Amino acid sequence: MAVANVSAHDVSNHDHHDHEHKDNFITKYIFSTDHKMIAKQYLISGMFWAFIGGFLSVLFRLQLGFPDMDLSFLRPLLGGWIDASGKLDPNFYLALVTMHGTIMVFFVLTAGLSGTFSNFLIPLQIGARDMASGFMNMLSYWFFFISGVIMFASLFLEKGPAAGGWVVYPPLSALEQAIPGSGLGMTLWLIAMTFFIASSLMGGINYITTVINLRTRGMSFSRLPLTIWAFFLTAVIGLLSFPVLFSAALLLVFDRSFGTSFYLSDIYIGGEALPNTGGSAVLYQHLFWFLGHPEVYIVLLPALGITSEIIATNSRKPIFGYKAMIISMLGITILSFVVWAHHMFVSGLNPFLGSIFMFLTLIIAVPSAVKVFNYLTTLWRGNLRFTPGMLFSIGLVSFFISGGLTGIFLGNSAIDIQLHDTYFVVAHFHLVMGSASFFGMMAGVYHWFPKMFGRMMDEKLGHVHFWLTFVGVYMVFFPMHYIGIAGFPRRYYSWTNFSFSDMYTDLNMFVSVAAIVTFVAQFIFIFNFFYSMYKGRKASPNPWQSNTLEWTTPIHPGHGNWPGEIPAVYRWPYDYSKPGAREDFIPQTVPLSATPESNLPHENKLVQLEKEIMAEEGDVLVANESKES
């Protein structure tokens, strides 16, 4: 009953709800159904996983940058994975890259980003008391938590965690004889991913339902902030593609444990011929990338949405081409489902199919280009405030361009023959999907920290954090383009076995140093985050002078978000620096009739309509109140 009341727009019930329901520690901080607390849970979990994932990358960067280094000092931590001569075990190296990828893609950039900001912002920005189902939302987090516990446990197995790359292609991932990580490590990976998929689906259903059903009065789809559009479309993509990953994983479980041959065929390994015939390893790749490619947009779209909002606010300008932004996101959403096979140009795929997917892939570059140009035009003639959130958003645009452009090489199958599975690919996706999404997440944390904790993060530390990270990321990933063009393959423990790749030790060392510096720089953020949570400057109700609804809540919004009635919305969220207006922003809750000095001609016509609706609403409210009493 509590949940239903909280989510309903029925305001009159809400006031006594606060009094009858007292939270204790467990219901408030652990099994909370408040979307804001769940968002914080996701955020903290995401930060924990980002630390783990980043640390794993430091370990393998040590191996790649300093192949002759004596790593004995890591033995207290890694134990037997460092051999007698102080070398990292090659099997464990593969486990490191696999877990780094899995953790970063799913636990940090899917759960940490979407989980945090979809949960936090959807109800606040559309004017809802909570998610459509607070209970399912809580369940979603706890499924994710279980998934994390299982994945974390797999790091400590005797034979190591899954090690076949984050894509876990069979037969490697199906056969324990092939690599030790394909034993119990892979089993736990599959179980963890099953929980993760269940978690994403429950989250996604909630996001979609909430956006469609619980918008406040006046919040039409054409007045939604771009953040919400992005979260909404992300949830749609996730809902349609994650089940396919589940099917891929399920068939892999069958192959591993029940002797089926979905992916296995004609295999002779460990001195014996396996009985499996008729399976197709390429089938798995199709199923995997049917999620895998949309997954790129699952992590990227929320970051782009967050950025749109932050850039508009801090440029003091409406986002340029609001409709074009929505249309390009819709385009990306649809196209993201029909480009998956560009990961498989040289997998043995029918070349004709390859050419179809090449055409479809390069089409998706068009909406991406539109988005970039719109961001640039938003900055043009703005009045830019370099808050840390704004800086990270500008950083995102830069990464989105740099990484997006290299996608044009890789989407072209003829060029991809040479570049596939080289460091060029590593550079490409780390910039466009990894770093860009990570920057979107950072931007979001800096921007909405005041709303989450009622205090401000320190700006100067934020600036230092930004510049170290921004330069650091480029120093890590830009050199990888050269290494990739030179043909260095991915997931190599060492390159000295081949004369074509027996070079660039200096550049690899440089990359490793940059990676370590960038990783260490994140502790500035960690410090800033936890310090500001308790000791930061107290935030004002609307510190960035933003238009969106979340800033009309109290500084510490309770469960239910608005103490009284949910405010109605009368305009789009981007009325910044409107000519004639007194301030350089007009919140969405300000009726057009209150701003005759700044209304555009077509808005003046709407004023009349608005008045009629308000009168009607007033009648209804009065009627409700009289019924109550």
Partner 1 sequence: MYGLLISIGVILLILVIWMVYRIQTLISVAKGSDKKIATTSNKVNAFLMMVFLIGCGVLMFWYSIKEFDNYQMPIASEHGIITDRLFWITMAVTGFIFILTHILLFWFSYHYQYRDDRRAAYYPDNNKLEIIWTLVPAVVLTVLVVSGWKAWSDITAPAPEEAHVVEIMGYQFAWDIRYGGMDNTLGDYDYRLTNATNSRGIDFTDKNSFDDFPSQNVVIPKGEPVLFKIRARDVLHSVFAPHMRLKMDAVPGMPTRFWFVPNKTTEEMRAELGDEEFEYEIACTEVCGNGHFSMRKVIRVVEPDEYRTWLAEQTPFIKSNPDLVADLPADLKELAEIYINEE
Residues 541 to 600: which contact partner 1 by CB under 8 A? 574, 576-579, 584
Choosing from 25, 156, 268, 534, the residue that interacts with partner 1 (CB under 8 A) is 268
129 binds partner 1 (CB under 8 A): no
Choosing from 239, 240, 338, 471, the residue that interacts with partner 1 (CB under 8 A) is 471
The amino acid present at 526, given as its one-letter code, is I
64 binds partner 1 (CB under 8 A): no
The interface region with partner 1, picked from 9-17, 40-48, 396-404, 446-454 by CB under 8 A, is 396-404
- The residue (of 139 and 339) whose beta carbon lies closer to partner 1 is 339
Choosing from 11, 153, 282, 326, the residue that interacts with partner 1 (CB under 8 A) is 282
221 binds partner 1 (CB under 8 A): no
| 159, 183 contact by CB (below 8 A) | yes
Q: Which residues contact 507 (CB under 8 A, 6 or more apart)?
A: 479, 482, 483
Q: Of 161, 41, 147, 43, which is closest to residue 101 (Cα–Cα)?
A: 161
- Residues 299-338 interacting with partner 1 (rule: CB under 8 A): 315-324
| 66, 512 contact by CB (below 8 A) | yes
Choosing from 8, 11, 330, 503, the residue that interacts with partner 1 (CB under 8 A) is 503
Q: Which residues contact 601 (CB under 8 A, 6 or more apart)?
A: none
The interface region with partner 1, picked from 124-132, 220-228, 276-284, 435-443 by CB under 8 A, is 276-284
First-to-final CA distance of the chain: 21
- The residue (of 14 and 342) whose beta carbon lies closer to partner 1 is 342
**Token pair belonging to 122:** 């959807």
CB of 142: closest distance to partner 1 in angstroms? 33
CB of 154: closest distance to partner 1 in angstroms? 18
- Residues 77-96 interacting with partner 1 (rule: CB under 8 A): 89-91, 94
498 binds partner 1 (CB under 8 A): yes
CB of 425: closest distance to partner 1 in angstroms? 10
Q: Contacts with partner 1: how many residues (CB under 8 A)?
A: 117
**Token pair belonging to 454:** 């009622």
Q: What angle do CA 401, 238, 221 make, to 5 degrees?
A: 80
Distance CA 580, CA 582 (A): 6
CB of 64: closest distance to partner 1 in angstroms? 11
402 binds partner 1 (CB under 8 A): yes
Reported in sequence order, the residue ranges of 98-168 that DSSP labels E, i.e. its strands, are none
384 binds partner 1 (CB under 8 A): yes
247 binds partner 1 (CB under 8 A): no
- Residues 16-45 interacting with partner 1 (rule: CB under 8 A): none
The interface region with partner 1, picked from 32-40, 226-234, 471-479, 548-556 by CB under 8 A, is 471-479
Q: Of 151, 150, 180, which is closest to residue 89 (Cα–Cα)?
A: 180
| Residue whose pair of structure tokens reads 């209970």 in the numeric block | 135
Q: Give the three-class secondary structure for 469.
A: helix
- The residue (of 124 and 364) whose beta carbon lies closer to partner 1 is 364
CB of 601: closest distance to partner 1 in angstroms? 14
CB of 553: closest distance to partner 1 in angstroms? 22
500 binds partner 1 (CB under 8 A): yes
| 592, 551 contact by CB (below 8 A) | no
Got the DSSP string for 501-562?
TS--HHHHHHHHHHHHHHHHHHHHHHHHHHHHHHHSPBPPSSTT---SGGGGS-SS--TTS-
- Residues 165-204 interacting with partner 1 (rule: CB under 8 A): 165, 169, 171-172, 175, 178-179
CB of 301: closest distance to partner 1 in angstroms? 19
149 binds partner 1 (CB under 8 A): no
Q: Give the three-class secondary structure for 94.
A: helix
- The residue (of 401 and 607) whose beta carbon lies closer to partner 1 is 401
- In order of 99, 265, 285, 288, the CA distances from 276 in angstroms are 29, 5, 18, 21
- The residue (of 64 and 236) whose beta carbon lies closer to partner 1 is 64
Q: Exposed e or buried b for every residue in 431-466, given b needs 16+ CB within 10 A?
A: bbbbbbbbbbbbbbbbbbbbbbbbbbbbeebbebbb
495 binds partner 1 (CB under 8 A): yes
Stretch 338-357: interaction string toward partner 1, x if CB under 8 A: --------xxx--x--xx--
On the CB side of 190, how many CA atoms lie within 13 Å of its CA? 25
Choosing from 289, 340, 492, 529, the residue that interacts with partner 1 (CB under 8 A) is 492
The interface region with partner 1, picked from 122-130, 147-155, 390-398, 446-454 by CB under 8 A, is 390-398
| 289, 340 contact by CB (below 8 A) | yes
Choosing from 273, 526, 609, 622, the residue that interacts with partner 1 (CB under 8 A) is 273
- The residue (of 219 and 319) whose beta carbon lies closer to partner 1 is 319
- In order of 64, 175, 268, 469, 514, the CA distances from 475 in angstroms are 15, 38, 44, 10, 6
Choosing from 125, 194, 413, 599, the residue that interacts with partner 1 (CB under 8 A) is 413
CB of 80: closest distance to partner 1 in angstroms? 14
